[in-house]
Structure 1
Amino acid sequence: MLAYSTYSEAGGVGKTSTAANLAVAHARAGLKPLVVPLDPQDGNLSRLFGVDDQRTEPVDNIVRHMIRRPKGDFDDLVRSAEGVDIVPEHNMLSDLAEYLRREKEQAEAMGEAFGMHAQLLRVLREAGVPEKYDVLICDPPATEGPHLYNAIHATRSLAIPVEPTAKGRAAVEGLESLVAGLEDQLEVEVGVLAAIPMGFKNTRDQRQILDQIEYPVPEIIGERASLMEGCWMEQCSAFKYVREFRDRQRDYEIETLAQFDRIARHLEQDVGLEAPNPPEPGNLTHEVMSI
């Protein structure tokens, strides 16, 4: 199983859009992806895919499962869009740290162990996610805390959208110490599968910054603000937006879709996962295999 979290300390770099488009790229190749977004803020992955309609309602959600108070089966949480299964975010995520702390205190009072940062992994394993899915993607917030720690504990690997600026370089440089700290704190090994530069304009300064990235860089994605804004407006991936909402296909946008396809293949190959029906990169007429 391929499992990774999309993470960047820098906000506004396209972390959630990257997670969504890579998930669709995996599905286009005949794989079965599950996305577990953990961002408590509005404008999250559930919103992008249009499955956030119950986030304010008193319904079962991922937080209840993480604190051992589920109202139903894990499978009942799952919604689907564009061939991707998603566990929608819920407003209870805003207080995840407090919920986990209370549960830990109650468990310890009963003489039980409760790892605050291992609860998402527990939920996914108990639900049989590694057996049911080919790909797991977590999309935590950029800030450190239980959302991020649970995501990394569950996936053990990162895909990092990178802003090709001095700020982005500082975020990447800080990532090494962050990963080392997480490995010590969580007692797991954390790998970086890829750095994905976003918004590249091919300036000299940007080229110098990219040359300093020590992680694998499978693709460099250019400035695509209009495309990504369109995705949020229509609540869909870039693949669906170009196919259904653009009045004409633009070569540079087709190339961006091809890049997401190629990045997905890179990530799959890193763990020896073979996609059964990979498309020609960027091919919008490709038929997705039913699983």
Structure 2
Amino acid sequence: MSDPLTVPVRTTGSAAVAEKLPTEKVVADDKRPSRPSLPRPAQPRVMTVSNQKGGVGKTTTAVNIAAALAQSGLRVLLIDTDPQGNASTALNIDHRAEVPSIYDVLVDGVAISEVMQQCPDVDNLWCVPATIDLAGAEIELVSLVARESRMAKALDAWMRERDTSGVPRIDYVIIDCPPSLGLLTVNAFVAAQEVLIPIQCEYYALEGLSQLLNNITLIKTHLNQDLHVSTILLTMYDARTRLSAQVASEVREHFPQEVLSATVPRSVRVSEAPSHGQTVITYDPQSTGARCYLDAAAEIAHRGAEMKDDA
């Protein structure tokens, strides 16, 4: 197995060019708040971040939870399965058309270790990027054998490879889905054990949620019996409005075990961060948005530890 931090970047002519990515970034004026290390799960936790309703902070949640877990000492892989590649952009990951990506994994059977890149701004965080090629993957997957489980098989093979080679195992795999139910999302559901659903604290917040839950039930019944909704995160919360409080109350009433105590407020800093190729965790560590995502990540990690204790 190749060094997991040596990642092929592109092929020029007949020669494959590999780039040794840095494992540590020195920040001159590091204002990141000191965070206690979080408990490692007994087994890698694979979480799909999904909501078929757009504009709920799905990708923002995926990248910031991933960064928060990694910054707290856990080893995290984020897989970007949205053809728009917004998660790759937010992590400052190269995802030009010629870069090896999740498309190559799903369509051509390339190993995850050959396409993953290390996030330049966050230690312990790697990303499998999405490129524009992924836009055609839905059609190409239709004719392939085991089209719904290609990501699951690739992940299993990658984790076994790490185990046999003595490389430290990954703690979390976070999968960012497109806001639709196609073969890309189905692959993510089949590969995961858990679903994290971000819900915005606005009117029609629960719109489409019943359909998403029905789809998860179908996947659980026919393709992945371990799949379940483990986490719901309330986003775009505005404490100044009665509407946010009403929506939060309604969601907590329907899903008392799944909803995190932490909520993510509307935040200019959270919205600005991706345009700088960063998560809010590194862009403005002292901001309310960063602290809320760090709190949410801590809650997720401690819930995982409780699951281990109950087992």
Matched, 1:9 2:47: no
Task: Indicate how the Cα distance of structure 1 residues 69 and 178 shifts in structure 2: closer, same or farther if over 3 A, else same.
Answer: closer
Greater per-residue strand proportion: 2
Q: Tell me the matched-pair count.
A: 249
Matched, 1:93 2:134: yes
Identify the residue that residue 186 of structure 2 maps to in structure 1. 149
Identify the residue that residue 250 of structure 2 maps to in structure 1. 212
1:85-114 per-position Cα deviation (integer Å, ceiling 9, x unaligned)? 0011122211112222222xxxxxxxxxx3
Q: Unpaired segments of 5 or more residues in structure 2? A: 1-43, 164-168
Identify the residue that residue 115 of structure 1 maps to in structure 2. 146
Shift in Å, 1:201: 1.5
1:113-167 per-position Cα deviation (integer Å, ceiling 9, x unaligned)? x321111010111122684311100001010011111111111211111111232
CA distance in 2, matches of 1:172, 1:208: 17
User: Equivalent of 2:295, from 243, 253, 262?
Assistant: 262
Question: Which of 1 and 2 has higher RCO (CA within 8 Å, sep 6+)?
Answer: 1
Identify the residue that residue 76 of structure 2 maps to in structure 1. 33
Q: Unpaired segments of 5 or more residues in structure 1? A: 104-113, 244-248, 275-291
CA distance in 2, matches of 1:126, 1:30: 24
2:84–2:131 Cα contact (<8 Å) kept: no
Identify the residue that residue 277 of structure 1 maps to in structure 2. none
Alignment of 1:105-184 (within 5 A): 114-128=145-159, 131=163, 132-184=169-221
CA distance in 2, matches of 1:233, 1:62: 22
RMSD: 2.1
2:199–2:205 Cα contact (<8 Å) kept: yes
Shift in Å, 1:69: 4.4
Identify the residue that residue 92 of structure 2 maps to in structure 1. 50
> Secondary structure of the residue that 1:217 maps to in structure 2?
strand
CA distance in 1, matches of 2:101, 2:264: 34
1:8–1:142 Cα contact (<8 Å) kept: yes
Greater per-residue helix proportion: 1
> Secondary structure of the residue that 2:226 maps to in structure 1?
coil
1:2–1:268 Cα contact (<8 Å) kept: no
TM-score scaled by structure 1? 0.78
CA distance in 1, matches of 2:237, 2:208: 16
CA distance in 2, matches of 1:194, 1:187: 18
Matched, 1:221 2:264: yes
CA distance in 2, matches of 1:173, 1:207: 21
Shift in Å, 1:65: 2.5
Shift in Å, 1:241: 0.8
CA distance in 2, matches of 1:159, 1:69: 27
1:11–1:142 Cα contact (<8 Å) kept: yes
Shift in Å, 1:21: 0.8
> Secondary structure of the residue that 2:207 maps to in structure 1?
helix
Which amino acid in the other structure matches residue 234 of structure 1? H
> Secondary structure of the residue that 1:52 maps to in structure 2?
coil
Task: Indicate how the Cα distance of structure 1 residues 142 and 53 shifts in structure 2: closer, same or farther if over 3 A, else same.
Answer: closer
Task: Indicate how the Cα distance of structure 1 residues 221 and 182 shifts in structure 2: closer, same or farther if over 3 A, else same.
Answer: same
Identity %: 19
1:236-269 per-position Cα deviation (integer Å, ceiling 9, x unaligned)? 01021115xxxxx5xxx2x332221221122222
> Secondary structure of the residue that 1:24 maps to in structure 2?
helix
CA distance in 2, matches of 1:273, 1:261: 18
Identify the residue that residue 106 of structure 1 maps to in structure 2. none
CA distance in 2, matches of 1:221, 1:189: 28
2:103–2:137 Cα contact (<8 Å) kept: yes
